[in-house]
Structure 1
Amino acid sequence: MKVEKKFSRIKENVWRLEENGNEYSVKRYADVRDAIKIRNLHELLQTVDFPYCAPISEKGNEHIVVQPWVTDGFPVDFSKQSDRRASLKTLEALHETETVVKWESLPFLKPYALLDKWNWRLERFRNNRQTIVSYLGENVVDQLELYSEQALACLRTAPAREVPTTLLHGDVVHHNLLKTAEGTVTLIDFDLACTGHPDVEIALWLHRVLPKADYNAALLFDEEPRLQVLGQQAIAMLQYPNEMLREWSYLTTLPEERRVLLAQQLIPFTEQALNRWPELCRFSNNLLEHNRYLP
C-alpha cells in the first residue's frame, strides 16, 4: 500500500506532516543532543503519566523528533480567565512531577540562571540603546533602564520559598500552551526546558499574562489562589520589564523595513506598560513588605 505524505513548513526547522489521515509535528535539531534531551524528557513525562503533552513517535531519527499534531488545540488567550486558569493548572501539574522524578539530577537539563539571563538582557538592550532611542526617545529608554536596575537590585536579595527544584517548561508564551475543546491545556516545544524554582516559571507566566490583563496584578492575584503563595523572589520579578527589553532588542536585529512595522506595535505596547508600571511596582512592593513578616 502506497503511503501518501504531505509536508507543510511551519518554521525553518518545523513541518506539519499529513500521512494516511494522521497529522504529525516534525522538528529537526541541528545538534543531536537537543533531540536526545527532548526524547528523554517526553519519555520520563510519559512514564509518570503526565497528561498535558504529546508523546514522541518512533518515526524520527537521531536529528528529527516526530510527535502527533495537537489537532484540536489552539493557543491560549491570556485575556480570558478560563485560559489563564487552565494554563496555570497545567504548569502546576508539570512542576508537581518533581515528587516522582528528580529532575535536578538529570544531566541533560541545565538550571535556569535567572539573574545571569536578565543581566544579559539589560546589557543587550543598552548595547542597542542608540537604535531604540530613535523610536522611543531618551526619557522612555532611561525609564526602562531604571526599572530594570531597581528590579535586579531587589532580586539579588529577595529570598525564594523553600521548595524543591523541579522541571520548568522554559518558554510559556501563549502559542506553546494549546487549549483543547475539553478545556485542558497541552504544552508543546520543550526546547528550553530546564530545572529551577517553580515560582520562577509562574512569575514568567505572569509576565506574559499581565499585558493581556492591563497590568492589573491585583486582579490576577485575587482570581488565582496559587499566586498567593509566591515567594519574595517571584514577586520581585514582576518589577523587571522583561517583555519590553526582549522585544525592543529583537527589533534591532531586523531589517529597517521590518523594524518600522514592529515599532508601530511596540510603541503603544510600551506606552501602556509604562503607564501602569508604577502601580505594578507599588503592588509588588506591598506584597514584599507583607510577606517579609510571614512565618
Structure 2
Amino acid sequence: MKMKAMSMTFNQKGDDDYFIRLLSYLRSQFRETIVEMVPYRKSVILIRTEKGSYMLKGFHTNKRLRLQEAFTSTLRKEGFLKTYLFVHPEIKEPLFFEGTYFGCMEYITPNKIPFSFQSQKNRQEGLELLEQFHQVTSSFESRYRTLIPKGAIIEKWRDRGKTFTSNISTLKYFISDKILEEMIGWAKWSLSGMDNNRSLYLNEPFCILHGDVAHHNFLRDANGVLNLIDFDLISIGPACLDYLQYANRILPSLDWSFERLARYSQYEELLKKKAFVYALAYPADIFREWNRLIREGSYRDHQKYKQIMELTIGQFYSRKKFIEGLKVITN
C-alpha cells in the first residue's frame, strides 16, 4: 500500500492502522483487484485497480451520499460536464466501513501545474466556470429546494462573529487588542450594512450555490480542462453569495484592490450594489480560521499558525485600507 503524508490533524499511528483495515475491507468488496491505495485524507482515497482508477469519498450518512450522487448526475444531464460523476464498479455490496459510507467517483487525473488564485488566467477561468455552474443550476434549483438548505449569509456570519468574540480571551494571546477591536468593528459595520440592504439576498434569482470556492475545489485535468469539484456545501441562493466568497479568496492576490476586482465582468454590476460592497468588508476568512484553530486546539501546528498569522496580521493594513475605501463608496 502506498501511503502519502497525512494531515497532522490525525494521529499517524492510528491512521496507519485504519487504512490497513480499510484496504483489507475494500479488497474483500471489489471484484476488481486493487493494486494501489493512496489516502489524501481519512475520507478521500484514491484506489487503483487493474481496470481503472477511482476516488473514494466518505460520508457520515447514506442520505448525504445519495444526494451527492443525484446532484452530480443532474449537473451532467443538464449540461455541466466539467466535474466528476459517481460510478459503480463491480462491488459485492454498498461500501460501509466503520461508520462511514463511501461513494466511488471518477478519477480526474490532475495537471502537473496545480490551480492557484495567484494566476490572473486562473482567476478569470475560475470565475467563468463558476458562472457556467450557476447558469446550469438555476435551471433545476427548484427540484432541490426540499433537499438542501437555503443560503443565509447574514445569519451564518453573525454566528461566526459571535463565536470569534467568545474566543476573545484566547485570541488576545496572539493578536493585539487594537487589531482585534478593529476586526470586530469591520464585522459590525459590514453586517449592519448587509442587514439594511438585504433585498439583494432575497430578490435576486436563485441557483444552487457551490458554497466552498476555495482554490482546491478547482481542478485542472491533465488535458488542461478546468473542473469544479466537491459539492458538500451546496445550498440554494443568489449567485452573488458564491461571487462574494470568490472575491474574498482572490483579493489577497489582487493586493486588496477594489479597482482590480472591478475589472472582472462578473463583478461589474455587483460592485454597484451596497449590500455586496458592505459584505466585502466582513473578515469571514479570519473568523473562520481562528474559530477552527481554537476549536481543534492546533496552535502547535507551525504551518497552520504561520498561515493564520499571515492572514490576520500580514494582510491587516492592506485590508484596512481596502475597507476604508468601501466606507467611502457606501456613504
Same fold (TM over 0.5): yes
Output the TM-score relative to the length of structure 1: 0.89
Distance 1:17 1:119 in 2: 41
Structure 1 pair 276–27 and aligned structure 2 pair: CA distance change class (3 A) = same
Distance 1:95 1:172 in 2: 13
> What is the Cα deviation at residue 194 of structure 1?
0.9
The answer to whether the 8 A contact 1:5-1:20 is kept is yes
Partner of 2:212: 171
Structure 1 pair 128–99 and aligned structure 2 pair: CA distance change class (3 A) = closer
Cα-Cα RMSD? 2.3
Output the TM-score relative to the length of structure 2: 0.80
Partner of 1:12: 42
Higher relative contact order (CA 8 A, sep 6+): 1
Deviates more, 1:100-109 or 1:165-174: 100-109
- Deviation string 1:142-190 (CA, Å, 9 cap, x unpaired) is 1111111111111101231743110111111110111235544211110
Partner of 2:79: 49
Unaligned runs of 5+ in 1: 290-295
| Aligned-pair identity (%) | 20
Larger radius of gyration: 2
> What is the Cα deviation at residue 106 of structure 1?
3.4
The answer to whether the 8 A contact 1:104-1:166 is kept is no
Partner of 1:28: 58
1:199 counterpart (240, 248, 261): 240
Distance 2:82 2:217 in 1: 12
Does 1:242 find its partner at 2:272? no
> What is the Cα deviation at residue 5 of structure 1?
3.7
Partner of 1:68: 106
1:229 counterpart (269, 274, 285): 269
Partner of 1:292: none
Structure 1 pair 183–157 and aligned structure 2 pair: CA distance change class (3 A) = farther
The answer to whether the 8 A contact 1:122-1:245 is kept is yes
What residue identity is the alignment partner of 2:131?
E
> What is the Cα deviation at residue 64 of structure 1?
2.0
- What is the correspondence of 1:1-295 to structure 2 with a 5 Å cutoff? 3-20=33-50, 22-59=52-89, 61=94, 63-73=101-111, 75-103=114-142, 105-158=144-197, 159-160=199-200, 162-222=203-263, 224-230=264-270, 231-255=273-297, 258=300, 261-288=303-330
Distance 1:131 1:262 in 2: 16
Structure 1 pair 80–45 and aligned structure 2 pair: CA distance change class (3 A) = same
Distance 1:181 1:18 in 2: 17
> What is the Cα deviation at residue 30 of structure 1?
1.6
Distance 1:213 1:177 in 2: 19
Structure 1 pair 2–65 and aligned structure 2 pair: CA distance change class (3 A) = closer
Structure 1 pair 136–65 and aligned structure 2 pair: CA distance change class (3 A) = same
Unaligned runs of 5+ in 2: 1-30, 96-100
Distance 2:225 2:298 in 1: 41
